[in-house]
Structure formats: C-alpha cells, structure tokens
Amino acid sequence: MQIRGRAKQDLGEAIFQALSGRAYSSVEKASTQEAAKAMVDRWGSTKAVAERLGVSVRTVERYVSGAIQNPSKRNRDQFAAAHREAKITPGRKQKAAESGTASGPDRTQTGTGGLAIFGSVRVSEDERDRWITPGSHMTPAEADGIIDAMVQNGPEAAAAALNTVIQRYVPGMHINYIEEIDY
Amino acid sequence: MTAENVHPLRRDRELVPGSPGWAYQVTPPQVFKVEETRPAKGKGKDEDGARGTALEFRPVLTWCPEVSKGLITLRPNGEVDTWYYRVSVQGQRATISHRELMAGDAWRERFRAPGLGFRTWREVLTNIVLDQAERLPLTLAVTRTGWHHVTDQPAVYVSADGRARPTGDAVELIGATAELETAAAPVQLPEGHSAADVLARVATSGGWAPLFGIAAGARSFGQTIRPVSAALVVWGDPNTGKTCTAVAGRLLALAPCWPPLPTAKMSEDTVTDIEAKVDFEADMPTLLDDLALTLDAPMLVQRDAVAKLERIIRAIGNGGQMRGRRKRDGITAQTQRHIRTIPVITAQSLPPQMQASLFRRAVVLRLVRGDAHWRWWEKVHKSGELAEVIGPGLRAIGDRIISRLAEADDPGAVLAEADTAGQTALSTHVDREVPGWADSETGMVGVVSMAGAMLGGLALAADAAGVERGPLLDAVAAPLARSLAVQADTMEDRRQATDDLKTAIGDIIRQGLVSRRAFLTGPDGTLGTAHLPGGLTAQAAGLREVGQDPHIGMVRFEGAGVAMHYVPAYGGIAVRPSALFDLARASGDSRAAGYTAKSIGSALKRAGALVPGSARPVKRVTIGGSQPWCLVIPESVIWPDLDGDADPGPDEEVPHGQDDGGPSGGEPEPEISPAVREPEPSNKQTPTSPVVQATPPAEFVNRVPAGETASAVTAQGRPVLAAGVTEQGITWIGSDWATQDDGGYDSLPELLAAIVQQMPKGGTVAIDASAAARLGYPGKPVNARPGGKPAAKSSGTPKARKECRAVIEAAGAGWQPSAAGIGAWTAWHGPSRPSVVIVVPEWIDPRAMRVSGAPYLRSDHDALTAAYLLARYREITGVPFVMTAGTSGTNMIRAALGPDRMRTGRRARRSALLKWDGEGTPAASIQERACVWDRPLAQLTEDERSRPNVVGFDVVCQFLSAMVMAVLPWDTLTNTGFVGFDASIPGYWQVSGPWQPYELLPDLTGRAGAPGPHLLSTPTVAHLLEHGMPEEMITDAWLPRLRRDKEGRDLPRGGRLLHGSPGVAELIRDGLMSIDPATPDADEAAVREVVKATFRETVGMLQRGTKFVHRPDWADAIIGTARTTLLRKVAKVGKETGMWPVRINHDCVYYAVDTTDPAAILPDGWKLPGPGQIPKLGQWTVKPENVMSMDCFLATDVHGDPRKV
C-alpha cells in the first residue's frame, strides 16, 4: 500500500499505516472514549472488549460513555494494545502475516514477492530511492512477530523487529524514509 | 571361618580374581569380604615373638551365583564370536551372554537377589562367574537352528529343541523360546500309520496350496546347503487358507497348534525383531504371519509394510545380510542377521508401493477359495488327528529329509536333483500359462526357477515318505503355474505403474486434460470437437462449452493451461517440451520426476513414447500459422483404449522398459539464447528500410570524431552497439559514429528484422513512446508487475488478454515478447534469432517496475540519449545493457564463461557451471556478509577519545578488486568432509566457533562473535588460519569434486574465473578508469555510475540468480575475499603501528585522528590517488561524508542512528 501524504521517516509508523490504513497519530490523538468506541466497533460488543481488556463490562461502558477519562495505570498498557489491535484491519493483518516468504535466509525464496518496501535506502555510500524485498528473507513467524510487536508494544517495537530482518537482508542497510509498503 | 573352607583360594589374598579382598563359596552359597586382622598384643605371636596377621572372612551375601556351563560360539572363520554362561542364582536360572555379564545387565535385568543394587558387589559377582566358568569345560553353542560344522566331522543339524543330528554332539542352542523348544521336541508316529499315508491324505484332502507349503518347508531344510533365493508370499482374501498353507510346511519341524506358532508377526513385530527371529530359525520352515494390510490402509502403515517386505525379500533374493549395522565406534560390524530359510509370508493384500523388483525375488501365491481346504485342516485339528497322526507323520517326513541330507556324501547334489525335478514338472505347465516366459525380460525366468526349486521340496518329501514323486508334483505344478501367470501380470502392471515413463506420460496428459490443466486443439490451433481423435469427448480433451457463436450458431469452447495440438499428419499429439514438462511437474507424478524441460524429450524418445522417425525428439510442427518445435506423442500412448484395446501387447512397435529411469542431459531443445548466439538467416526477415544518408541529430554531432562528416558514417562493416528509434527514423550508434535511417517503421517485425541485420548478436534499442505507438505498441505498459502477486481470478469466464497490434504482427513473423508482456523493457525472442530488447524510456518508472537496481536510463531520457547511453555501456562491457546493472553484469559473466564464450586460453575447453542454486550445500543460504562493525565505546582508549576527528578511509571499488582476486569453483560443491585445508580450493568450511585474535577488531569469522559452528568460504578460513586459528577448528568441508581431463590429469577445482585478459572484472575496471569521476558530462557520469553499479549489483544477482546465471557460492567467495582483504590490511596496520579502527562500514575503515588531512594520517603502505588521478584498484580515498568530529562519532552508530545508551 502507498503511504499517503508525506513519506514516513519512522519505520514503525509506516508499518502501522500499512496494517491499518491510518496514520499512527490517529491512535495517539484518540481519546479514551474514541478508542473504546473503536474497540466496540471492531469486536462487536462491550462484552467482547471487556474480555480482551480483562475488565468488567461496566468499566467498558464507562469508557464508552466517557465517564472514565483515562484507563487506570494497571490497565493502560492493555488498553493501548487493544486499541492498536482494533485499528489494524483483519484483512491487512492476514496479508501481512503471509508476507514472509522465506523459511529463514534461504536464497531459493528470494524474488518471490512478500513484504517489499519502496523508499530512500542507504547501503554504505549507495543512497537512492529503490525497492527492497525483506519479505524474501522473512519467515511467516517473523512476520507474525512484527505484527505482534506492533500490537503489544507499539510502532517502535515493530520497527525493531523488522530491522532485524532488514539487517539480515543487507547488513548496514538504513531506511531514510518510506513511500510504499507492499505485501 | 578360615581360608581353608573357602573355594577357591588362590594367588595369595586375591581370593576372587580381579576382586582383591573378596571370596566366595558355592556350597553353601556365600560371598565374603576378606579382612586382615592382627591378634591382640601378646596373642598370636610366632616363635620369634613377632605378631602375625590373619584373614577374617566376613559374610556379605548369603547367596552366590553358580555357573553350570560355559558356552562358546564361533564365527564362520573359526574365531571366537562370544561366550555364554548358564548361571543359577537362588534358583533362578538364565543363560547370559558375555556382554550382558560384563556390562552388568545380567545382574540388573536377569536376576533378583538381595545386594544386587550395589555396584561394587555386582562387579565382584561378575568376577565370581568368570572364575567359575574358567574351571568348566567349554561347550560349543550356536545361535540359530540348522546346519553347523561343530568339528571337522560332517555337518550336524541342530533342531529348535537343541538336538544335534545325526551325531548327538554336545551342542547348545542359545536363544530358543520355550514355546519353540517344546514344539520342536521329538514325537512318534503311532503304530498303524505311515508317513506315506499321511502325505497321501494331505495331498488328497488338504488342497494344493498347503501341499506347496509342505514343499517349500521341505526345501527349507537344505537352504544353507543350496539356497533358494526367493521368498514365498501367500496372499488373498480372508478364509482362503493363507496361514493354513504356511503352517502345513511348518508341521515338518514343529508340533501342530492353533493359533500357530509363527516365526514372527509381520504386523506386530518391528523390523529389527523380525530380523532376529528369522535369523534364528535357519534351515527350517518358517511362518511370517499376518501382514494385515488393506488397500485403504494409511500411508504410514503401507510404508511400514513395504519396509518389512523389502528387508526380508530383498535379503533372501540378494543373499546378503538383512541390514549392515556398525557399532558406535563406526568401525566394528554388529552381529549380522541373515535369512537362511525360505521365508513364508502371509498377507491379506500387498502394498501398492511394493516394487516390481521385489516380485522378481518372490514366488507370490494369490490364493482363492479352494486352493487350501482349510475346513479339512480345521476338522482334523479339532478331532485331534492333526496332533496325533498328521503332525507326527509330517514330522517323520521332515526328520527323514534331515537325516538324508546329513548322511548324504553330497547333500547339495541331492537338493540339486530335487530342484531339477521340481523345475521340470513346473516348466511344462508354465509354458502353457505364461507363454514366452523363458524369453521374457520381466524377471519371470528367475521366479519360475525359484518356484520350481520350492516345488522340488515336494520331491524330497515324496522320497522321505516313500511315495512316487510324479503325481504329487503334478498335483501342485498346474495350479502353481496359473498362480505364476497372475504374478507375471502383476509384475508387468507394477513395472508400468512405477517405472514406465511411457505409461506415466500418458496418464499425466490424460489427467491434465480431464482436470483442465491442459486442452487439445485441432491441427490449426482452433478449439472444437470436430478435430478431436475419434471417440474423444470435449471434456476428455480439456474443453468446456462457453456458449454459442452468435453468427454461425456453433458451440464455442475454451481451454485452460497447456495447449496440446492434435496433428494426425504428424502421427499424434504435439506439445512443446517445456509445456509438457510443466504439466508433468504440476501432476506431481514421481514417475516423470527427475527430468528437465530439455531432457524430457530425450527420455520420452528412449521410452518409446514419441512418434519415431527423426533423430531428435522434437519436430517442427505447423500449427495454424506458426511452426513451433514440438514433441509428438502417439494417440495410443495417451488413450490406449481408444481403439478398443487397452493392451498394446507384445507387438508394440517400441518395447517397454527401455528408459533408464534417470534424467539425462539429453539433446537440447532448440533454445533461444539472447544476445550472444550467432544469427541464422531468417526466412521471415523483410528488407530493411533503405539507408538514407542524413545529418545525425544534434546530440550526436558532438559524438562523431572531429574531421569525419556525419554523412560519411555508415553502419556497413562496423559494429552497431545500440540504436534509437524515433518517429522520424532509426539512429544506429557505434563506438565512435552514428548514422540515421529516415522514414521510421510502421511494423514491429520489420524493425526487428532491421535491428537483427545491424546487430547480428542482438542488443538493446531505445524507442520513443510515439514511435512505439506507430509500431502498434499499447499506449502504456501492460506487463505484469515484477514481483507482484497474480491478480485474483474472476469468477466468470476468463477474459483473454487482447493483444496489441505489435504483438500480433510480431507473432506472425515468429517473434514473441517477454512472458510478462509489453513494458518499459521488453525482450523479443524468435526461433533461431538473437533476442532484441526494446526499451521505451518514457515508460521507465523504477517504483512501478519494482526495480531495486540503480537506475541508468530514466524517463526523462529521449530515445537518442538513451541509445547513446546504451551504446556506451556496450562499448565498455561488451554486452548490451538490460534493465539493471546487475542483470547486465551477469550477462557479462555469461558471455565470458558460458557455452558461447570466446574460447581462448584455459577457457577454450572448459565451461564454468553458471546456474546452480547450491541446493543441499551451505551455498543454499547466505554465508558471507560485509563487515559492519562499531568498536564498543567502552573499548575506546582515552587517547582515541581525545582525538578531535574520526576519518574514514574508503577502499576503491572493493568488490571489483575482490572479483579480480576471488577463486571461484568451476563446478558444484559437495560435502567432502575435512581432510586438510587448501586455500586454493574454493568452497565452504565448517569452523567450530568465533575467532577474534585482536581485541580491537571484530570477530574475523564475520559473525560478530556468535557461537559456532559457522560455514565460511575459503578466503575467510584462510584468513583465520593466518591469524592463528588452529586447523582443528575446521570440522567439515563442501568443495568441488576433483575432475580429470581426457589424459587423466587433474583439472583445477577453482580459478580466478572473473579475471582474464580481459576478464569480466578487468573490463569493468578499464571502463571505470576511462571515465574521470569528476567529469562534468552528465551522461558520462551516468555511464561511470552504472559501470560501478555493475560489479556491485552483480554480486547480489549471483546470490539471487537470473534465468541464466545463479552462483550463490561465487557471491560468498567474492564477499569473503573483499572482507578478508580489508581486515588483513587493517590488522597489519594495527599490529605495526598500534592504530586500530574505531568503526568499519563495508569498505570504509574509520580511525580516530588529530587532523582531517588524509595524507598526514594515512597508514603506512596505504595509497591515496594522486592529485587529478583517477582512483585505482587497491588505493584508498577519503570522502567528505566519511570525515566527522569525535562528538559526532560518539553520538551516532555505524548506521548513522543515535547510539543506544
């Protein structure tokens, strides 16, 4: 998918946009009430959201009504993770999970598609706009790991997970900014 | 207790040899601890007044093992095999092996007595057993029944109950189960009955199959004397008398019982268990009972059944041991298991995977009801007659056969005579049931011979019973021959089903048509039922109705997948070899596996699956307007039943089974080789447009050397490097000239023909979009996105892609575009022609094209500028530029090393293998990587921290230098094991761990100190050894095989293949050196950049692979050479000057320095380019971006990111 607007300098935010179709700022700026409504929309009921958050239905209802402005410290991380997960489109998530086309860094898997990134890429002194295909060096489990890192710990963790793959793809490769992510 | 009462008392105080301080006595059983005591003061003094010592025997165990017999087994060569001991412990008796005794297993597993849990006591008990055994006379023991040579006397037969006949020698049989021992005990035939009567009754009432079982059983008695190399497999539906057949033979040696006492159970016992049990029962009738297998049994069960049958039948058929095993030391052989009998196997059904070769090593009886009268056997069993009369009668026969063989001067001759009698009786009937069996090559000759030998056992039985042989043999021979006829059919079926490529390809095509992976057209390429072979439906031809033609009302059809063409004029069905190969591979049929698109034609020809009449497998077939090279397969191969007779019969023109079953190089299919193949005249070429002298375009006036007028320039006689096509005409560009043909082209075939005429080896041509439109190109690129996933199929009728005029016209002239379709870069291929690549610069969009390589041509280039750039690239590298520098670089390698290379020097006769993915070797994964390393900040010295600057020295064209130096393998690599390191042999070596001899340098293996083992290329390992790594750390190797030339001389296993005069690397080097990096000419700068990108991206393309070049091991060797060369220089500077790098990023080495003047800080031995000089290989440069302050260095890491605290 193409990153709309300005190219993303932050790899993690670009991954989030690829997974959700929305900028990560939409998550950051959302109020607790908006986040709770988004979760209810995604999972269908306050009960389902309550189960995911590990809180009572009543608490979720209070999130939705705006009675609770901020989740408690104990629930904050879980709430943020659930909000990110709610924002991620199931179809995109499934496609992304299938974007690891290699079983380890096996050359026979290269050139077969999978996760591909277009942007400004620097390797040593070679810096230019180009496509890179880290998906060809990424196992499905690693793809799952990136999505899981995004949900559980946010864009920075997802970027770190993807960078691990990229460094195996080409050691020393640095992505300056991203214009398109395809998977 | 005193020492005198203890037995034994020897060697001073070592009462139990090997266990000082211990003693034992057998009666009463006790084990003692012996202690030395001194008498109290004043007591026990001798005459001199000195105090003596006494032995005190303190009872430890109130029991003691008693050895009653010591047994020894010998190997066939007379050496000791092992020992056994008959031991009693507190009433528990067991025969234990020497191994069990010495390992302590005997005490842990065979006996239970107080004190056995103490290891020291167990060791003492072991010594006690050995001590007793040494005093006993040795008795010879055997571990199997059957014939043995105990002494120099004639062989004796040892029965399962331990009897040795005829001499009664003292021989012990080890390993017989109690049930078997009991069943083999001697019995007496009651008075009033005779063996002849019993045999007659069995022959009359028991059925022919049990009588044949008796024959096989009787013949088993002489197996080690004169082997019958076949198993007897009895299979059939339930209640057909399978077990009854086998048990009848076993009655010759064992007492009857029900359920029968089997040798082993095929379904319940493991393979190893079966091996041991069959090995024990030698020279006696056996029963491997109940292979309970149904046709719908799970694959796992069927595989297990096949494995057991393979182990048994192949062992008896080949005569060797069942499975060779080694002890853990890897040298010593374990006990060998053999089959020394005719194994009789009963099965409900035989697994479909059972090979035809197993059928050739077995006599397979397919029983039907009536072959074995099991109700009669049941009746005599229930009445007790079987145990009282029939059984003893048959045992008497068995005993007499044994006696006869034992007493015969030449028992082998007795058996040979019986075999001949059986074979003679059988052959008469087999001649009738299996005509031509004696001349058949299916293996029936051996089967009939072995069946006859088994039948000969009945002759032995008849002799033993004192009855006439003839009637008995005839009673069995006729039905046996009928059964063998069934076996012959089964063998042929299995062979065709498993080995016959001809049958396989017919099955594959038929299945492909029905499953719509292929479809059949008429001779003119049209779809319809009118042109199908007679009797074939549209569905069977892979066709589907898609409505009616609105004009003529006829039904329209469509097909999907591989196109096959019914061409009766050529004798069958025509299909392209590559398409047929794809179909075969898609089918997953293992019978057609192991071939390539090139070799499948030759294999089919050998298998007789092609219409004969030409030397090559392919024929040029006219289909519609084109003449592709096709394989033509006779209809009868695909539809053997179309003529009403599915059986091709023995008169088939091409006999079956001629294919060797393996892939071969075969005769290559005519292949269109791009760019480098010499042209052949094409009958479809049209005259080129007339050469009109004209003024070259303004851009090119400057390119023509001064003093030479443009009008004088012509393409005639000079090589054309590239061309630019505009609406006005075409400009041909050479190394220092250009000329234009005015007028332009409206037809792509005409343009292609003109290009081929000017560039006989093919090439790349740039064309404006408007000129392309005039040729019939589409208005925008329509090719599939490279690397993209295929679009989802629509649910409706597939819509055929509407081809543009250019494609249609080109197809008419025999040209085909790239498989992806028309795009910015399109390769046009034609039979017997070089490839022409046409690039439309306006369409170039690296992002949309998904190209990763450095761009050379851009969308803002017009056709003529692009043509100039293309010509310059070809001028420098010798190959046309195609899409990316990496692809073009691999084309350079192909031109230099491939089959169409310039055959000079050492490459005159030897082609390097250019396409190999490293499957099964370390080359299949990336092993070598560039060095990207930051020295940990904690390791920065105070002196370094105090320096104000960090300066990076960049190696000039590091990979290019490595391409010159790298030693690359000619051929594939194989696992050779480590037999000593040789730096001249390229390949991979397994190193057990990291190696970091310098604290201030990274791990030299390139794995950042990760624990091993690591798979490293030869240059890396050579570097490690230079820096002190012990060779013992190398544990394995993957190297090229040693090859020899015709004179028997060793050919080098590797060489600097990219180096030469000029080699690939030198061409690139010279190209780089010819262009000043500071040139103000933007086009020249672009040329220099793309030439530089060529060596850089070529390494990556070697890893990823193109259609023609794929050598990941070469890429690893180049990267390893580059890294080790850099580290070698850095380590040398560090050792000599104490100047260690603080960072290494690929080809750039950073040092902490006081000044930014490179010359002032350049390490000794390193060189910078002189002022105004073009950097040369081996020199260093300092680029502005590689100079930074110490603060900046401390703040950022090697990737340019902020350091993590």
CB contact under 8 A, B847 and A128: no
Cα gap B221→B157, rounded to integer Å:
9
**What pLDDT is attached to residue B652?**
34
CB-nearest to B926 from A107, A133, A182 is A107
Question: Do B123 and B94 lie in a common domain?
Answer: yes
Is residue B1160 within 8 A of residue B1166, CB to CB? The reply is: no
- Residue B160 resides in a domain: no
Mean pLDDT of chain A: 83
Contacts with B1113 from chain A: Cβ below 8 Å? none
Question: Do B488 and B509 lie in a common domain?
Answer: no
Mutate to test the interface with B, among A9, A106, A108 (most CBs of B within 10 A): A108
Task: Determine the residue of chain A that is closest to B1198 in CA distance.
Answer: A172
CB contact under 8 A, B1200 and A122: yes
Look at residue A110 and tell me whether its pLDDT is greater than 70.
no
> Which conformational region is residue B571 in: left (phi greater than 0), alpha (psi within -120 to 50 degrees), or beta?
left
Question: Do B454 and B536 lie in a common domain?
Answer: no
In chain B, how many domains are there? 5
Question: Do B479 and B556 lie in a common domain?
Answer: no
Look at residue B1120 and tell me whether its pLDDT is greater than 60.
yes
CB contact under 8 A, B851 and A130: yes
Number of C-beta neighbours around residue B842 at 10 A? 21
Mean pLDDT of B199-213: 92
- Residue B280 resides in a domain: yes
Mean pLDDT of B494-514: 83
Mean pLDDT of B218-239: 92
**What pLDDT is attached to residue A104?**
43
Question: Quick one: what percent of chain B has pLDDT higher than 90?
Answer: 30
B1170: tokens are 């002189």
Chain B residues in contact with chain A using a Cβ-Cβ cutoff of 8 Å: 787-789, 846-847, 850-855, 917-919, 924-926, 929-930, 932, 954, 1096, 1103-1105, 1112, 1145-1148, 1183, 1185, 1198-1201
Beta carbon pairs, A and B, within 8 Å:
76
Mean pLDDT of A22-27: 86
List beta partners, residue B1016: B989
**What pLDDT is attached to residue A45?**
92
Lowest mean pLDDT among A50-54, B766-770, B903-907, B977-981: B903-907
Q: Which residues contact B708 (CB under 8 A, 6 or more apart)?
A: B737
Number of C-beta neighbours around residue B644 at 10 A? 6
Question: Do B226 and B115 lie in a common domain?
Answer: no
> Which conformational region is residue A120 in: left (phi greater than 0), alpha (psi within -120 to 50 degrees), or beta?
beta
Taken in order B927, B929, B934, B939, the sign of the CA dihedral is positive
Q: Does A123 touch chain B (CB under 8 A)?
A: yes
* CA distances to B70, B73, B116 from B98, in Å: 10, 11, 18
Mean pLDDT of B355-370: 87
pLDDT level of residue B901 (50, 70, 90 thresholds): low
Q: Does A106 touch chain B (CB under 8 A)?
A: yes
Question: Do B116 and B199 lie in a common domain?
Answer: no
**Rg of chain B over all Cα atoms, to the nearest angstrom:** 43
Q: Does A113 touch chain B (CB under 8 A)?
A: yes
Q: Does A89 touch chain B (CB under 8 A)?
A: no
Is residue B59 within 8 A of residue B23, CB to CB? The reply is: no
pLDDT level of residue B589 (50, 70, 90 thresholds): confident
Mutate to test the interface with B, among A121, A125, A129 (most CBs of B within 10 A): A125
**What pLDDT is attached to residue B967?**
92
Higher pLDDT, A41 or B350: A41
Is residue B742 within 8 A of residue B729, CB to CB? The reply is: yes
CB contact under 8 A, B847 and A118: yes
Task: Determine the residue of chain A that is closest to B1106 in CA distance.
Answer: A111
Q: Which residues contact B450 (CB under 8 A, 6 or more apart)?
A: B228, B229, B230, B363
- Domain final residue, candidates B478, B496, B514: B496
Contacts with B853 from chain A: Cβ below 8 Å? 130
Look at residue B585 and tell me whether its pLDDT is greater than 70.
yes
- Domain final residue, candidates B496, B522, B537: B496
CB-nearest to A106 from B924, B932, B1148 is B924
Task: Determine the residue of chain A that is closest to B1093 in CA distance.
Answer: A126
Distance of CA A58 to the CA centre of its chain: 30
Look at residue B219 and tell me whether its pLDDT is greater than 90.
yes
- Residue B366 resides in a domain: yes
- Residue B55: give the domain boundaries: 3-142
CB contact under 8 A, A172 and B1147: no
Mutate to test the interface with A, among B849, B850, B1005 (most CBs of A within 10 A): B850
Cis check: omega of the bond before B28, within 30 degrees of 0: yes
Look at residue B685 and tell me whether its pLDDT is greater than 70.
no
CB contact under 8 A, B918 and A113: no
- Residue B871 resides in a domain: yes
Question: Do B481 and B509 lie in a common domain?
Answer: no
Find the angle CA(B184)-CA(B149)-CA(B137) to the nearest 5 degrees.
85
Question: Do B508 and B440 lie in a common domain?
Answer: no
pLDDT level of residue B462 (50, 70, 90 thresholds): very high
Look at residue B127 and tell me whether its pLDDT is greater than 80.
yes
**What pLDDT is attached to residue B697?**
33
**Rg of chain A over all Cα atoms, to the nearest angstrom:** 18
- Residue B1145 resides in a domain: yes
CB-nearest to A172 from B851, B1146, B1183 is B1146
pLDDT level of residue B789 (50, 70, 90 thresholds): very low
CB contact under 8 A, A108 and B924: yes
Distance from CA of B792 to the nearest CA of A (A): 14
Reported as a single tens digit per residue, the pLDDT across B595-654 is: 888 888 888 888 888 887 667 888 888 887 788 889 999 888 888 876 544 443 333 333
Beta strands in B19-98 (DSSP E): 22-25, 30-37, 54-61, 66-74, 80-89, 92-97
**What pLDDT is attached to residue B48?**
52
CB contact under 8 A, B850 and A131: yes
Higher pLDDT, B788 or B681: B788
B169: closest CA among B182, B185, B187, B153? B153
Beta strands in B208-267 (DSSP E): 231-236, 264-265
H helices present in A54-154, as ranges: 57-65, 73-87, 90-97, 140-153
Question: Do B843 and B815 lie in a common domain?
Answer: yes
Mean pLDDT of B978-1001: 90
Distance from CA of A83 to the nearest CA of B (A): 29
Task: Determine the residue of chain B that is closest to A99 in CA distance.
Answer: B789
**What pLDDT is attached to residue B229?**
92
Question: Do B722 and B710 lie in a common domain?
Answer: yes
B1069: tokens are 């080097």
Mean pLDDT of B147-166: 81
Contacts with A113 from chain B: Cβ below 8 Å? 787-789
Look at residue B1183 and tell me whether its pLDDT is greater than 60.
yes
Cα gap B1203→B1142, rounded to integer Å:
14
Mean pLDDT of B403-427: 92
Q: Which residue is listed with tokens 């047994």?
A: B71
Query: Among the ranges A54-68, B71-85, B298-312, B315-329, which has the highest mean pLDDT value?
Result: A54-68
Cα gap B1015→B1037, rounded to integer Å:
9
Q: Domain ranges in chain A?
A: 26-88, 94-182
Cα gap B382→B257, rounded to integer Å:
11
Mean pLDDT of chain B: 82
Question: Do B1155 and B1178 lie in a common domain?
Answer: yes
Mean pLDDT of B883-894: 89
- Domain final residue, candidates B433, B464, B496: B496
**Which residues 26-85 of A are in CB contact (within 8 Å) with B?**
none
- Residue B648 resides in a domain: no
Contacts with A171 from chain B: Cβ below 8 Å? 929-930, 932
Question: Do B477 and B528 lie in a common domain?
Answer: no
Is residue B573 within 8 A of residue B566, CB to CB? The reply is: yes
Q: Which residues contact B709 (CB under 8 A, 6 or more apart)?
A: none
Number of H helices, E strands in chain A: 9, 3
Reported as a single tens digit per residue, the pLDDT across B700-721 is: 323 333 333 333 333 455 788 9
**What pLDDT is attached to residue B670?**
32
**What pLDDT is attached to residue A2?**
58
- Residue B693 resides in a domain: no
Mean pLDDT of B306-329: 82
- Residue B149 resides in a domain: no
Reported as a single tens digit per residue, the pLDDT across B252-286 is: 999 998 888 999 998 888 888 898 899 999 999 99
